[in-house]
């Protein structure tokens, strides 16, 4: 990204939260040069017939655009605080 290096990693596969809600694939995005606010990208799973779910395809080339959209939505990579969650 412009002005600071970022790295991303898998935070979790499909999980169910304590309230029974379905959470999709989650990626963690962090700055590599300093410890600042983490971005969590949530990719929803696709519902399939029979109540099954399909894993989303994550386009590596499209991640930069998704991160820019998260910045537009309020993620401030230079700030500190709780992780910022952005649903794709």
Q: What is the pLDDT of residues 26-55, one digit of tens each?
A: 999 998 888 789 999 998 887 778 877 777
Q: What is the pLDDT of residues 5-33, one digit of tens each?
A: 888 888 887 777 778 777 778 999 998 88
Rounded to whole angstroms, how far apart are CA atoms 75 and 49? 35
pLDDT on residue 48: 77
Instruction: Calculate mean pLDDT across residues 49-72.
Output: 85
Rounded to whole angstroms, how far apart are CA atoms 79 and 48? 39
pLDDT on residue 1: 55
To the nearest 10°, report the CA torsion of 62, 67, 71, 77: -160
pLDDT on residue 47: 75
pLDDT on residue 2: 64
């Amino acid at each position: 990204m412009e002005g600071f290096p970022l790295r991303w990693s898998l935070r979790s596969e499909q999980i169910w939260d304590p309230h029974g809600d379905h959470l999709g694939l989650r990626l963690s995005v962090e700055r590599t040069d300093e410890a600042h606010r983490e971005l969590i990208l949530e990719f929803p799973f696709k519902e399939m017939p029979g109540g099954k779910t399909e894993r989303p395809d994550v386009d590596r080339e499209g991640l930069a655009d998704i991160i820019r959209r998260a910045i537009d939505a309020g993620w401030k990579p230079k700030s500190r605080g709780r992780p910022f969650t952005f649903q794709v």
